[in-house]
Amino acid sequence: MCRMARPRKPLLSRDLIVDTAGALVDAEGLDAVSTRRIAAELGVSGPSLYNHFRNKDEILDAVADAVSARIDLSMFDADDPRDWRTALHDWALSYRAALRAHPNAVPVLARGPGRRPAGLRVADAVFGAMVRAGWPPAQATSIGALMRYFVTGSALGSFARGFVDDAAAYDPADYPHLGQAHLLAERQEQVDEGAFATGLTALLDGLALQYEAGVRGGWSARGA
């Protein structure tokens, strides 16, 4: 009579499940997460979760959306809608920080917003702000897409972590220029931060060039 089939107060909730699953993703990675482990962590039996989510993918989607929800979007409400460059820059930093805080969840996020509310809010905010700043809609779409490529790419595959911390792995006869590659694993943080900063600056500089050209040329053909 202590462990009943149904207590008067529900043992589970969507939030509880998402929090537990998220902690498991962070601590042990995506592969280590099973519905049975989430349930065990919550002190219930495996199938209980199916009262709150249709399947495992829906749980992981919710975990990913919780990460998206932490991306700051306030810079897109700025007074000067024409300063798209600053807004985009600040957003990119917040975007990346949110993902780097939960690197194991990035593969799920990288699949796109789908129907995830927080993910859609992000796409909506950046698109709206770029249009307001004077970018044609087609270009605004491209900017949302290419920023996602760059940020998720940088959060997903830490460049430096991708190399092995073992000098013998990189035979100079095979890879004449990778003599120091095993050092990358050590300096992981700086390498990835440096590459991200360099790439972001290049991206924004390049977009500024396109913006100026567009304004000068009246955005020629593809304006609508």
Give me the residues that bind DNA (CB under 7 A), please.
Answer: 3-7, 10-12, 33-37, 39, 44-48, 50-52, 55-57
Phi, psi (rounded to 5 degrees) for 111: -70, -10
Number of residues that bind a second copy (CB under 8 A): 67
> Least separation, in Å, of the C-beta of 138 and a second copy?
7
Question: Which residue in 29, 47, 162, 223 binds a second copy (CB under 8 A)?
Answer: 162
- Rounded CA separation 193/154 (Å): 9
167: contact with a second copy by CB under 8 A: no
From the list a second copy, DNA, none, partner contacted by residue 219 (C-beta under 5 to 8 A by kind): none
Q: Of 20-28, 32-40, 62-70, 202-210, which part binds a second copy (CB under 8 A)?
A: 202-210
Ramachandran bin of 219, using left for φ above 0, alpha for ψ from -120 to 50, beta for the remaining angles: left
Ramachandran bin of 156, using left for φ above 0, alpha for ψ from -120 to 50, beta for the remaining angles: alpha
Residue with smaller CB distance to DNA, 52 or 100: 52
CA proximity to 89, closest of 211, 192, 207:
207
Residue with smaller CB distance to DNA, 48 or 141: 48
209: contact with a second copy by CB under 8 A: yes
Residues 165 and 110: beta-carbon distance below 8 Å: no
Give the CB-side neighbour count of residue 26, counting CA atoms within 13 A. Answer: 15
48: contact with a second copy by CB under 8 A: no
From residue 199, alpha-carbon distances to 3, 147, 202, 204, 218 in Å are 56, 11, 5, 9, 28
DSSP 8-state code for residue 179: T
CA 175 vs. chain centroid, Å, equals 32
> Least separation, in Å, of the C-beta of 16 and a second copy?
25
Question: Which residue in 74, 198, 212, 220 binds a second copy (CB under 8 A)?
Answer: 198
Burial of 168 (0-12, 13-18, 19+ CB in 10 A): exposed
| Secondary element (H or E) of residue 190 | helix 188-217
> Least separation, in Å, of the C-beta of 73 and DNA?
32
Question: Which residue in 10, 29, 47, 112 binds a second copy (CB under 8 A)?
Answer: 112
Residue with smaller CB distance to DNA, 5 or 173: 5
Binding site for a second copy (CB under 8 A): 107, 110-115, 117, 120-121, 123-125, 127-128, 131, 137-139, 141-146, 148-154, 156-164, 169-170, 174-178, 180-181, 184, 191-192, 194-196, 198-199, 201-207, 209-210
